[in-house]
């Protein structure tokens, strides 16, 4: 899957998943604008790509503002002449329970993930529409955005919002042949190394030990490199007809998420639904179909 001639911006690509995405896109021939807030890791990423025969430059700017978004698009155009692929990957965590979460913690996460994805995609879409040759927008969701997670009010809001924007943009940008998809990854990075139930697997990866099938398949947990193939695929011409999707990937697992959809529907007889009528029908029609909250894993056998 050759990406020669394509130009990609990958936000937050100094380390973790973003670095794996940038390296994989470059390995397949794309010229990459590496972005991070941390100048040192951004330069190291550029050096690693250059050292493997790829092409990359670093644009150090905190994603979240219109100015940062424009700087990234401008850098792609001034350096490589065009923009074909945007991967909205930059992210932070500020985890705590609702009653302890400060406005600053909420705003920091929403600004980086949600506003960052909005501003960067808007700037990229304007450029791609001008070019008139289509394009690829990839945004990054999370299992937390899909089903919720304890201690992640800000992150759940941002990640669910990102998938909502992706489905909207897929409609708005279809005519310009710009595809927009969400990737819902899981991988060992700085972001997951403190998650208690993943700890033994993070340790195993650090020691160079293979992960058990339960981790790679049921939990969908592996290395950042395990996720990068999906980014390259979505960036390629092969994926021209795939848009508006939320695709889960991690370890040996690849999955298509549904959007929220009605699972049980009952109708009133032209009178609408009174509280009493709902109380009567709930146990019969809805109780058995209540939805779970949080990720549900099959127990290890």
Ligand X SMILES: NC(=O)c1ccc[n+]([C@@H]2O[C@H](COP(=O)([O-])OP(=O)(O)OC[C@H]3O[C@@H](n4cnc5c(N)ncnc54)[C@H](O)[C@@H]3O)[C@@H](O)[C@H]2O)c1
Question: Residues with catalytic annotation?
Answer: 155
- Nearest CA to 163 out of 190, 136, 181 is that of 181
Check binding of 35 to ligand X (CB under 6 A). Answer: yes
Check binding of 64 to ligand X (CB under 6 A). Answer: yes
Q: Measure the CA–CA gap between 158 and 232, rounded to whole angstroms.
A: 24
Q: Which is nearer to ligand X, 68 or 173 (CB)?
A: 68
Cα Rg of the chain, angstroms: 21
Report the residue from 112, 119, 121, 153 that binds ligand X according to the rule CB under 6 A.
112
Angle between helices 153-172 and 116-131 (to 10 degrees): 20
Give the CA count within 13 Å in the CB-facing half-sphere of 64. Answer: 16
Report the residue from 69, 87, 186, 235 that binds ligand X according to the rule CB under 6 A.
186
Q: Measure the CA–CA gap between 8 and 5, rounded to whole angstroms.
A: 10
Report the residue from 8, 34, 140, 230 that binds ligand X according to the rule CB under 6 A.
140
Q: Which is nearer to ligand X, 45 or 170 (CB)?
A: 45
Work out how close the CB of 65 gets to ligand X at its nearest, in angstroms, rounded to a whole number: 9
Check binding of 86 to ligand X (CB under 6 A). Answer: no
The CA distances from residue 223 to 10, 146, 203, in Å, are 18, 21, 12
Other beta carbons within 10 Å of 63 = 26
Report the residue from 9, 12, 73, 202 that binds ligand X according to the rule CB under 6 A.
12
- Window of 8-16, 23-31, 48-56, 282-290 that interacts with ligand X by CB under 6 A: 8-16
Residues forming the site for ligand X (CB under 6 A): 11-12, 14-18, 35-38, 41, 62-64, 89-92, 112, 116, 140, 142, 185-187, 189-192
């Amino acid at each position: 899957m050759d990406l020669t001639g394509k130009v990609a911006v990958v936000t937050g690509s100094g380390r973790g998943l973003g670095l794996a995405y940038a390296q994989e896109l470059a390995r397949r021939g794309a010229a990459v604008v590496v972005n991070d807030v941390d100048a040192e890791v951004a330069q190291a990423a550029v050096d690693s790509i250059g050292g493997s025969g790829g092409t990359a430059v670093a644009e150090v700017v905190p994603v979240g503002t219109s100015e940062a978004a424009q700087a990234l698009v401008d850098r792609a155009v001034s350096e490589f002449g065009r923009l074909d692929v945007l991967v909205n990957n930059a992210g932070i965590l500020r985890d705590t329970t609702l009653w302890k979460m400060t406005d600053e913690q909420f705003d920091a996460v929403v600004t980086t993930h949600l506003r960052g994805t909005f501003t960067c995609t808007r700037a990229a879409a304007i450029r791609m529409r001008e070019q008139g040759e289509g394009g690829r927008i990839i945004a990054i969701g999370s299992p937390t955005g899909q089903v919720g997670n304890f201690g992640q009010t800000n992150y759940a809001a941002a990640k669910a919002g990102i998938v909502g924007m992706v489905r909207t943009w897929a409609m708005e940008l279809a005519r310009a042949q710009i595809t927009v998809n969400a990737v819902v990854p899981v991988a060992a990075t700085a972001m997951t190394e403190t998650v208690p139930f993943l700890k033994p697997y993070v340790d195993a990866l650090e020691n160079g030990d293979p992960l058990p099938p339960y981790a790679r398949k049921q939990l969908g947990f592996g290395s950042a490199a395990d996720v990068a193939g999906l980014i390259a695929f979505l960036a390629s011409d092969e994926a021209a007809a795939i848009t508006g999707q939320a695709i889960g990937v991690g370890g040996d697992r690849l999955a298509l998420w549904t959007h929220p959809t009605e699972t049980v529907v009952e109708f009133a007889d032209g009178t609408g639904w009174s509280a009493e009528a709902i109380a009567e029908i709930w146990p019969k029609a809805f109780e058995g179909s209540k939805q779970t909250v949080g990720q549900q894993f099959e127990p290890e056998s």
